[in-house]
Amino acid sequence: MRAGDLLSLSTRMFRTRPTRTWLTVLGISVGISAVLFLVSLGYGLQNVILNKIVFSQALLSLSVSPGNEILALDQSMIEEFVNIPNVTNVEPLASSVGQISLDNINGTVELRGVNAGFFDFAGVSAVAGNLYTSEESGQVVVSEAILKLFDVTDPATALGKELGLKIFVPVKIEGQNSVEIIDVVEKFKIKGVVKDSQDSYVYLSLADLSKHIKIEKYDGAQVKVNQSKNLEAVKSVVLDKGFQVQSLSETIEQANKIFQVVQIVLGLFGAVALVVSSIGMFNTMTVTLLERTNEIGIMRALGASKGNLKSLFLAESIVIGFLGGVMGILIGIGGGTLFNWVINSMASRFGGAKTSLFAYPNWFLLGIIIISIVIGFLSGVFPARKASNMNPLEALRYK
C-alpha cells in the first residue's frame, strides 16, 4: 500500500465519523493540555524564583564569614584568600551600627561598607535607581525596609535624597563598654534601592566608611572563583582556615532538586487526565474496528494483506494522537496565557510586579508531541492486531 493511499484511508474517519473523531482528538488534547499546563507552571515558577537570585558572578562566589569571635577576618586574611589558587578576587564587607536621618526623621540601621564589586559577587541588584560604582563617593544604596521606616511608598521618589549619618563605634572607657557617636558632617545621596523589606541597612563604599572609623577586621567577604569546577577546592581551603562558607550555587542546586520533585508531582496529576483520555481513544478505536469488520473482509478479499490492515489502523490512531498533541499544546499554552494575564491583572491592581508564571522549553513541547504519538500508537496496537488476524469469510458475514 502506497504512503499516499495509507494517509488518505487513515484520515477518512474525519469525513465519515467527524463528530466522534474530533471528540476523541479533543479528549486526548485535554489530557495533554493538563500535563502541559501543570508542568510548564512548575518550570515557570522555577524561573521566576531563580532569576531573582541567579547572577553569573554570584554563582562563582563564596560567602565567607568568621566561624567564631576569636578568628579574625582582617586585611591579612583577605590577602591570604586572594592568594588561594583559582581565586580571582575578594571583596570584603565591614558593618557597623549607625543612625540615619531623612526629612528630619531618624532611624537606627546597619551600615555595610562594601566596594562596588561586592554587589556582583553577592548577587545584589537594584529595584530602583542604580548601584554605586567604584569611582563614586558620597553615594549610598538602601534597602526597602528603610523606606518603610521613613514612610516612603515609592522607591523612585527616594532617589537623590540626602541622608544624614551618625556612626556608633563600640569603645572601652576605664574598662567599661561604651559607645562613641561619630557625627558625619557630609551628606550621602541615595543612588539605589535594593529589594529587602525585612532588614534595614545602608550600603556605602568602604572608602567612605573608613574615612570616619578605623576598620581593623571585616564581618564577611565574597571570594570570587575563576570556574565553577574549582568552587569545592577553594571552599575546602577556606573551611580549613576555620571560616564558615556558603555558596549560592549550592542553594541553586537544592532549589532545582525541589522544583524537579514539584514538576514530577504536577506532571502526575496531569497524567491522570491523560490516562482517562487514552482510555477514551482506545475505546473509539475498538468501536471503529467493530463497525468496519465487514469492510475488513472486503479489503482482504480484494487482496489487502494483514500488514496493510495493521498499518491502516495504526496510522489512524497515530494521526488522532498527533492531532491531540498539537491541540493539547495550543489549549495548554492558551490556558496558561489566560491564567497568567489574570494573575498579572490582579498584581497590577494591588501594586505588585508583573511576571511570567509559565515556561515552555522547546524540548518539552517536542516531548509532548512524541508522547501523544506514542499514546496513539499504543491505543491502535490491539485493534490493528485484531483486524489483521480476522478471518476474511467471518468478516464478510459480520453484520
> Rounded to whole angstroms, how far apart are CA atoms 214 and 74?
12
pLDDT score of 385:
81
> Rounded to whole angstroms, how far apart are CA atoms 378 and 381?
5
Start-end of H helices in 292-361 = 293-301, 306-349
CB distance 396 to 329 below 8 Å:
no
95: helix, strand or coil: strand
Phi, psi of 176 (to 5 degrees): -105, 140
pLDDT score of 170:
83
Phi, psi of 191 (to 5 degrees): -100, -30
Strand partners, 189: 139, 162
Instruction: Say what the pTM is.
Output: 0.57
Q: Name the grid cell of 235.
A: 571552599
Closest of 113, 197, 110 to residue 147, by C-alpha? 197
Closest of 365, 371, 373, 273 to residue 43, by C-alpha? 365
> Rounded to whole angstroms, how far apart are CA atoms 28 and 40?
18
Query: Residue 234: CA atoms inside 13 Å, Cβ hemisphere, count?
Result: 29
pLDDT score of 141:
95
Position of cell 508583573? 354
Residues 6+ apart with CB under 8 A from 233: 85, 86
R_g of the chain, CA atoms, integer Å: 33
> Rounded to whole angstroms, how far apart are CA atoms 50 and 58?
12
pLDDT score of 273:
74
Strand partners, 114: 93
> Rounded to whole angstroms, how far apart are CA atoms 246 and 111?
22
Longest dimension (CA), the chain: 115
Q: Name the grid cell of 232.
A: 569545592
Q: Which amino acid is at 21?
A: T
Residues 6+ apart with CB under 8 A from 36: 270, 328, 329, 332, 333, 336, 360, 364, 365, 368
pLDDT, one tens digit for every residue, the chain (399 residues): 566 555 666 666 767 777 777 888 888 888 888 888 888 888 887 777 666 655 556 778 889 998 777 788 999 999 999 999 999 999 999 999 999 998 888 889 999 999 999 998 888 888 899 999 988 889 999 999 998 888 888 888 899 999 999 999 888 776 677 888 899 889 999 999 998 888 999 999 999 999 999 888 999 999 999 887 888 899 999 999 889 988 776 666 676 777 777 777 777 777 777 777 778 778 777 777 777 767 767 776 767 677 777 777 788 888 888 888 899 899 989 988 898 888 888 777 766 567 778 888 888 889 888 988 888 888 888 887 877 777 666 656 655
Query: Residue 306: CA atoms inside 13 Å, Cβ hemisphere, count?
Result: 6
Helix crossing, 306-349 with 293-301: angle to 10°? 140
pLDDT score of 86:
92
> Rounded to whole angstroms, how far apart are CA atoms 24 and 26?
5
Helix crossing, 248-291 with 293-301: angle to 10°? 80
